[in-house]
């Protein structure tokens, strides 16, 4: 049993050892970065240095091994140090943490101690002094902290204890101590041993206790501090004795200085040369030659030469030769001469050994390949190695890159579980080796690569939005049916140019004005689509007027449509223009789709190649290449990104990922978006990526904005309804980010209709978004609207606007939800609500499913057409009269009332608006409330039997319209009711005028008749004809006369007709109200009066009016005769014109007046011809005196006839004058008379 346990144990131990060995073998083999001497490459340089060191004359004291970093200087000097190990001391300085020159020194220190040269000297002094064992430098004036050496200290203390023991013996203290020891007599030497041992132990203890505690100066490096006193200029000066002492005791003859050139301080070499000279001249060293070997870069000579040139210029200026100094300075501008100056000033290097670089941009590739191939299966492409070799030309860096790649490959590529590429890992190792600080920031997402990645994603986002906008604009262009604004602008500019050219053809002519189709046209109108539509349709002409100051007139150019076509050189065909616009829009859409697809899948290297895409980031609008050059600090990094070696997954190459269930893409999305809570809608993910993402991060991520991604939505819509609900719950909040995602998905997603359907039950803005913002083409828009309508929730108050309404109206016939018969009532109700909320109406109800049809009819959101009314009434056969519609469907009737004008247009010729007279009254009120302006047309086409026999039974508001269309009889009650409501207006006036009388059916109160009579009589502005008013009042059959003085109108005409209609009394009281100026009215009233002659007095026929009354044709002849019979009564105070009219009437009617009346008329100034005519009846009997008196009153030539004047006056040749001539001749007043040439010549006698 024991044997079996032993065997099992041995096997277990062997298994563990075998596993351990396997693990060790799996570990990558790394190349050391230490310098390595290779004889085939370095032997030449080593031989030169050895020859210089072994020079018998020993004249080479300062040797410079020059070359750029990585050429092998350290390897050469390492071999030198190995061969002369006992004679060499090495000084190597690091630049890490080295302060700047301008740092303020501490107090109590020399100010010059802060200079870079002194700080370098300080480090050199420290390294020299601390390179030697303190015990070998006993003469060093400063105590240095060292480790406590026990046996050396015991020996020293034992030596010091000898005199202590002697003192104790002499002082008797030893005997005292011996007395305390038992049996001391047998061992007399024992007290001395106790004193010696005790003293040694005590001194050793004291030495150990105070070791390094008591010092001359404080210590900085270790425990010592090298301090420059204010009196010393440099550290070399301050510690020169210690330096010389060091070389005296250390027996070191060769000092190798490395890395001093890294401080870019050329002055340090001058101080070292000076130090070397001092050392080699020091007597303490007894003729030993101290050699300094420097490893320096070539460029240090540039600095030394520049320093020498400055020194030479300073010396010359101090000598006063400033012009020579400036001339020398100008000469130094020549590169060759400056090089000579540098060479002259570097003569303190006794030997310069240039090391030829063995690693260049050309050889770096081969070295990189060789190095990478050492014990490493790297899998890196030649192309990447070629690229790296152009920027990596340092052997140490090449080795380090190889080592880091080996580690990263082992842990990231080999041990990791995600699919990564060697090239891209190597690219990140290259980036790490050349950008150490930025590489560390990658884990925090703050690196320059992260910034560039975000720039790229922002560029993708901005340009995808721009392409989506291009697509939307192109789709809008396709919906246009007229010339596009851009094309119209181009055509208009061409035409304006031709018009200006035409004006320039005429010297000194300027365009003044334009007209098109007879209307004034401004120049800017030529660039509008409407103008070119009219031109294409043949409108015109376009007339251009030019002002020609030379001719002093205007020139005109008339351009017809054909002329314009020839001028612009393009066919005027709007359909062709629109078709061309649509073609361009299609091309724009296709181009934008192609570019958008590229952007959605583009990596950083893809964006590098497309300069046309740019983004405005931090105020600079640059392409991705521009942003890369701005973000990245080296051309190497830019080239790695440009070539695609550093891509969007660069973060995955900086750490180890062990979950093989998560793809590279999904991991990158988690790192770049999810973990950093940023949105990247266009990041390409597969369905498997999304499923893995949700599995890894849990369902709670669905409520975070980092999940806002097109591909994530695609997955949720097809494979995860629960997850979709969570995301939709966030999307319906519809902030800026949610809006951007939905817009992006509308353009780029696979299932936009499904997304809309998912959001619609919760999203009140779904329809306004689809109508105004979605920007998809019309076919997709219809599908989205249909999906949204099918998923609506009647409890949600959906927002709507004019655009939503227009979209629903145009797409209703194509929406499955609208035409289906199985659409739910709630959905149908939502559709109707959207239509009414948008204040739009469906153009046609044809094709709608029964649920939507009923909902639309109920809401009244459809246009009034004959077809729609028939469908809304469900094809009832009672016609489309209003009473029939009201009886069939009250809702349809109400809808018709809202648009009576449209209703009237759908009626066929001869079709009546109202058929049932019994319904006429009730419909009248509805019509007036609905559309007062449409009521006349409805009444015009109503059945003739539709009469409102009793106005009190219909709405008073309809009475005027009813009056217009004679839809009520002119009865006393109707007229009274109408007048009470509206007075006697124009509409009633027309009816009264047409009727001519008012029917009085019953026996109304007399006062009511009087009131109506007065109202009618007072409506002179409506019923201007007095006869009509009198007739209307007469038809009222008043019981008594109206009092004339109480009438609203006292015109004589009305008084006369009222007298004729027996409405007022035929008496003086009635005539008394007639105004004095109303001659015609009075005359008419007189003509209508049967009793006027009986009561006629000068009060009724005043002296002022009598002439006009007698002359009036209206006044009956008996009245005129009565006036002539009583002429003296009626003409007292009558003016001449009145008397003239009376006299003329008497002449015309051959009515004789008395001689006295005739003489009075002559005296009152009645015209002579009239008076002569009135004298005819009196000539046979008139005597000379009476005749002479009358003729004298007539004046003029008639006065010559009154006496024997001897005159021969002439007068008109008429009967009256001939008879007068005969009477004068008979009375011996005239000698003779004769009628000749139309005149009567009377020859008067002489006295």
DSSP 8-state secondary structure symbol assigned to residue 671: I
Report percent pLDDT > 70 for the chain: 83
* pLDDT reading at 521 higher than 50: yes
Range with the poorest average pLDDT among 232-241, 863-872, 975-984: 232-241
Q: What is the 3-state secondary structure (H, E, C) of 557-604?
A: EEECHHHHHHHHCCCCCHHHHHHHHHHHHHHHHHHHHHHHHHHHHCCH
Higher local confidence (pLDDT), 847 or 57: 847
Structure tokens at 888: 């069939």
Give the residue-averaged pLDDT of 679-705.
Answer: 85
- Quick one: average pLDDT of 1154-1167? 84
How far is it, in rounded angstroms, from Cα 800 to Cα 783?
A: 18
Domains and CATH numbers, the chain: 39-134+234-354 (3.40.50.300), 150-181+189-209 (no CATH), 480-570 (no CATH), 659-725 (no CATH), 877-950 (no CATH), 1152-1247 (no CATH)
pLDDT score for 138: 67
Q: Hey, what long-range contacts does 490-497 have (CB within 8 A, 24 or more apart)?
A: 491/527, 491/532, 491/568, 491/570, 492/526, 492/527, 492/528, 492/531, 492/532, 493/527, 494/568, 494/569, 495/526, 495/564, 495/567, 495/568, 496/523, 496/526, 496/527
Q: Which of 1136, 1233, 1178 lies closest to 1191 in space, CA to CA?
A: 1178
Given a cut of 90, is residue 741 above it in pLDDT?
no
Q: Which two tokens stand for residue 99?
A: 């302060």
CB-CB neighbours of 1169 under 10 Å:
16
pLDDT at residue 107 above 60? Answer: no
Q: Give me the pLDDT at residue 104, please.
A: 43
- pLDDT greater than 80 at residue 1111: yes
Buried b / exposed e over 342-379, threshold 16 CB at 10 Å, is: beebbebbbbbbebebebeeeebbebbeebbeeebebe
- Provide the 8-state DSSP code for 224: B
Structure tokens at 63: 């040797």
Is-contact 375 25, C-beta < 8 A? no
Maximum average pLDDT range among 421-425, 784-788, 1173-1177: 784-788
> Any idea which residue has 């008084």 for tokens?
1055
Dist CA 1202 CA 1215 (whole Å): 19
Cα–Cα distance, 403 to 393 (Å, whole number): 16
Q: What is the pLDDT of residue 346?
A: 57
**With 70 as the cut, is the pLDDT of residue 576 above it?**
no
Closest to 680 (Cα-Cα) out of 692, 694, 666, 691: 666
pLDDT tens digits, residue range 137-169?
666 665 556 666 677 777 777 777 788 778 777
Secondary element (H or E) of residue 639 = helix 635-642
Instruction: Retrieve residue 1222's tokens.
Output: 């005969």
273-282, 464-473, 568-577, 663-672: segment of lowest average pLDDT: 568-577
pLDDT interval class at 963 (50, 70, 90): confident
Q: Which residues pair with 1235 in a beta bridge?
A: 1240
8 A C-beta contact, residue 794 and residue 762: no
Can you count the helices (H) and strands (E) in the chain? 61, 14
- What average pLDDT does the structure give for the chain? 79
Encoded tokens for 455: 């720039």
The dihedral built from the CA positions of residue 1000, 1004, 1009 and 1012, taken in this order, carries a sign that is negative
Whole-number Å distance between alpha carbons of 175 and 192: 9
pLDDT in tens, 798-849: 999 988 988 888 888 888 989 899 999 999 999 999 999 988 999 888 889 9
What average pLDDT score do residues 1034-1049 get? 85
Asked if 544 contacts 511 with a C-beta cutoff of 8 angstroms, the reply is yes
As a whole number of angstroms, the distance between CA 1059 and CA 812 comes to 75
Tokens of 1227: 């009375």
What is the model's pLDDT at position 217?
44
What is the pLDDT, as a whole number, of residue 789?
92
Other beta carbons within 10 angstroms of residue 211's beta carbon come to: 14
Which range (18-32, 261-275, 592-606, 714-728) has the least confidence? 18-32
Cα–Cα distances in angstroms (integers) from residue 228 to residues 274, 686, 844, in the given order: 19, 70, 104
pLDDT for 657 equals 63
CA distance 411 to 431: 18
β-strand pairing of 351-354 with 88-92? unpaired
**pLDDT band with cut points at 50, 70 and 90 for residue 851:** very high
Q: Which residues contact 429 (CB under 8 A, 6 or more apart)?
A: 401, 404, 405, 408
Per-residue model confidence (pLDDT) at position 820:
92
Per-residue confidence band for 485, with pLDDT thresholds at 50, 70 and 90? low
Give me 470's structure tokens.
């291009």
Question: CA–CA separation, 704 vs 674, rounded Å?
Answer: 9
- How many residues would you count in the chain? 1247
Q: How far apart are CA 66 and CA 352, in angstroms?
A: 7
Q: What is the pLDDT of residue 345?
A: 47
The confidence score (pLDDT) of residue 761 equals: 92
Highest mean pLDDT among 29-33, 758-762, 1127-1131: 758-762
Residue among 242, 266, 229 at smallest CA distance from 105: 229
Q: List % helix, strand, coil for the chain (3-state, nearest 5).
A: 60, 5, 35
Angle at 949 between CA 944 and CA 951, to 5 degrees: 120
Structure tokens at 300: 């240090």
Contact 439, 654 (CB under 8 A): yes
User: Residue 281 above 50 pLDDT?
Assistant: yes
Query: pLDDT tens for residues 522-554?
Result: 878 778 877 777 777 777 788 887 766 665 566
């Amino acid at each position: 049993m024991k044997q079996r346990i032993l065997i099992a144990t041995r096997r277990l131990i062997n298994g563990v050892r075998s596993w351990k060995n396997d693990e060790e073998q799996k570990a990558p083999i790394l190349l050391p970065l230490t310098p390595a001497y290779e004889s085939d490459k370095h032997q030449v340089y080593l031989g030169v240095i050895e020859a210089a060191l072994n020079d018998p004359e020993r004249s080479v004291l300062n040797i410079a091994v020059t070359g750029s970093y990585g050429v092998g200087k350290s390897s050469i000097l390492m071999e030198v140090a190995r061969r002369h190990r006992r004679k060499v001391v090495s000084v190597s300085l690091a630049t890490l943490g080295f302060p700047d020159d301008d740092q303020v020194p501490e107090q109590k220190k020399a100010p010059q101690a802060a200079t870079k040269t002194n700080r370098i000297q300080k480090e050199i002094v420290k390294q020299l002094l601390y390179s030697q064992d303190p015990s070998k430098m006993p003469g060093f004036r400063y105590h240095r902290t060292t480790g406590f050496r026990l046996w050396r200290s015991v020996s020293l203390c034992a030596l010091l204890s000898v005199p202590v023991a002697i003192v104790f013996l002499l002082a008797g203290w030893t005997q005292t101590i011996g007395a305390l020891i038992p049996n001391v007599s047998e061992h007399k030497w024992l007290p001395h041993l106790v004193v010696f041992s005790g003293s040694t132990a005590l001194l050793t203890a004291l030495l150990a206790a105070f070791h390094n505690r008591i010092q001359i100066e404080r210590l900085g490096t270790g425990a010592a501090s090298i301090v420059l006193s204010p009196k010393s200029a440099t550290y070399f000066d301050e510690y020169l004795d210690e330096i010389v002492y060091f070389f005296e005791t250390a027996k070191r003859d060769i000092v190798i200085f490395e890395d001093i050139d890294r401080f870019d301080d050329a002055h340090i070499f001058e101080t070292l040369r000076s130090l070397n000279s001092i050392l080699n001249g020091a007597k303490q060293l007894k003729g030993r030659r101290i050699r300094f070997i420097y490893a320096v870069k070539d460029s240090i000579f540039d600095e030394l030469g520049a320093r020498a040139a400055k020194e030479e210029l300073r010396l010359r200026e101090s000598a006063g030769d400033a012009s020579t100094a400036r001339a020398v300075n100008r000469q130094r501008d020549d590169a060759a001469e400056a090089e000579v100056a540098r060479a002259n000033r570097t003569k303190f290097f006794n030997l310069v050994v240039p090391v030829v670089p063995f690693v260049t941009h050309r050889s770096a590739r081969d070295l990189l390949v060789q190095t990478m191939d050492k014990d490493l299966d790297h899998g890196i492409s030649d192309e990447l190695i070629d690229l790296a070799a152009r920027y990596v030309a340092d052997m140490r860096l090449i080795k380090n890159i190889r080592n880091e790649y080996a580690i990263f490959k082992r842990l990231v590529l080999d041990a990791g579980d995600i699919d990564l590429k060697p090239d891209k890992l190597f690219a990140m190792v290259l980036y790490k080796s050349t950008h150490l600080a930025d590489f560390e920031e990658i884990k925090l997402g703050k690196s320059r690569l992260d910034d560039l990645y975000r720039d790229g994603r922002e560029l993708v986002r901005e340009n995808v939005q721009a392409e989506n906008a291009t697509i939307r604009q192109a789709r809008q262009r396709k919906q246009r049916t007229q010339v596009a604004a851009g094309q119209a602008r181009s055509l208009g500019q061409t035409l304006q140019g031709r018009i200006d050219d035409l004006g320039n053809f005429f010297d000194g002519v300027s365009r003044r004005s334009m007209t098109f189709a007879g209307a004034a046209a401004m120049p800017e109108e030529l660039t509008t689509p409407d103008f070119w539509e009219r031109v294409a349709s043949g409108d015109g002409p376009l007339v251009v007027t030019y002002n020609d100051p030379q001719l002093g007139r205007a020139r005109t150019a008339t351009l017809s449509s054909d002329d314009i076509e020839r001028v612009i050189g393009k066919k005027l065909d709007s359909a062709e223009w629109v078709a061309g616009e649509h073609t361009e829009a299609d091309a724009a859409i296709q181009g934008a789709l192609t570019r958008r697809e590229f952007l959605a899948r583009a990596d950083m290297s893809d964006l590098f190649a497309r300069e046309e895409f740019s983004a405005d980031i931090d105020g600079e609008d640059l392409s991705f290449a521009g942003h890369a050059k701005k973000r990245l600090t080296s051309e190497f990094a830019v080239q790695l990104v440009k070539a695609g070696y550093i891509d969007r997954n660069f973060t995955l190459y900086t750490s180890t990922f062990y979950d093989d269930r998560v793809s590279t893409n999904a991991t990158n999305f988690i790192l770049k978006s999810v973990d950093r809570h940023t949105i990247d809608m266009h990041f390409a993910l597969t369905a498997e990526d999304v499923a893995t993402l949700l599995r890894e991060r849990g369902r709670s991520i669905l409520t975070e904005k980092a999940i806002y991604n097109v591909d994530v939505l695609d997955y949720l819509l097809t494979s995860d309804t629960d997850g979709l609900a969570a995301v939709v719950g966030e999307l319906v909040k519809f902030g800026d980010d949610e809006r951007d995602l939905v817009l992006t998905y509308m353009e780029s997603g696979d299932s936009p209709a499904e997304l809309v359907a998912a959001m619609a039950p919760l999203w009140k803005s779904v329809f306004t978004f689809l109508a105004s913002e979605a920007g998809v083409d019309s076919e997709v828009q219809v599908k989205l609207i249909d999906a949204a309508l099918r998923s609506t929730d009647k409890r949600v108050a959906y927002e709507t606007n004019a655009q939503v309404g227009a979209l629903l109206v145009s797409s209703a016939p194509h929406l499955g939800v609208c035409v289906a018969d199985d659409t739910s009532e709630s959905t149908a109700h939502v559709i109707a609500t959207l239509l009414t909320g948008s204040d739009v109406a469906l153009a046609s109800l044809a094709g709608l499913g029964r649920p939507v049809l009923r909902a639309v009819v109920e809401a009244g959101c459809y246009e009034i057409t004959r077809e729609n009314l028939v469908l809304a009434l469900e094809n009832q056969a009672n016609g489309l009269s209003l009473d029939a519609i009201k009886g069939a469907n009250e809702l349809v009737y109400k809808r018709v009332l809202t648009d009576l004008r449209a209703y009237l247009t759908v009626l066929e010729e001869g079709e009546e608006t109202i058929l049932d007279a019994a319904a006429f009254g009730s419909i009248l009120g509805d019509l007036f409330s609905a559309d007062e302006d449409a009521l006349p047309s409805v009444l015009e086409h109503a059945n003739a039997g539709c009469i409102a026999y009793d106005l009190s039974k219909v709405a008073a508001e309809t009475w005027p319209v009813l009056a217009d269309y004679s839809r009520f009889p002119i009865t006393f009650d109707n007229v009274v009711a109408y007048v009470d409501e509206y007075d006697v207006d124009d509409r009633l006036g027309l009816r009264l005028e047409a009727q001519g009388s008012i029917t009085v059916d019953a026996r109304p109160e007399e006062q009511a008749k009087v009131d109506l009579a007065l109202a009618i009589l007072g409506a002179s502005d409506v019923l201007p004809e007095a006869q009509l008013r009198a007739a209307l009042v007469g038809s009222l059959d008043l019981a008594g006369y109206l009092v004339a003085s109480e009438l609203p109108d006292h015109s004589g005409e009305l008084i006369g007709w009222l007298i004729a209609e027996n409405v007022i009394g035929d008496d003086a009281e009635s005539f008394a109200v007639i105004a004095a100026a109303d001659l015609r009215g009075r005359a008419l009233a007189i003509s209508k009066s049967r009793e006027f002659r009986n009561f006629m007095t000068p009060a009724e026929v005043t002296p002022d009016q009598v002439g006009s009354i007698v002359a009036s044709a209206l006044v009956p002849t008996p009245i005129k005769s009565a006036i002539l019979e009583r002429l003296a009564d009626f003409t007292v105070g009558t003016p001449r014109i009145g008397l003239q009219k009376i006299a003329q009437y008497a002449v015309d009617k051959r009515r004789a007046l008395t001689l006295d009346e005739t003489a009075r008329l002559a005296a009152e100034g009645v015209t002579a011809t009239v008076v002569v005519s009135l004298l005819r009846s009196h000539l046979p009997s008139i005597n000379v005196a009476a005749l002479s008196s009358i003729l004298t009153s007539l004046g003029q030539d008639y006065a010559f006839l009154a006496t024997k004047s001897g005159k021969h006056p002439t007068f008109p040749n008429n009967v009256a004058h001939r008879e007068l001539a005969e009477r004068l001749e008979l009375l011996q007043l005239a000698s003779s008379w004769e009628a000749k040439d139309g005149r009567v010549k009377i020859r008067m006698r002489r006295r």
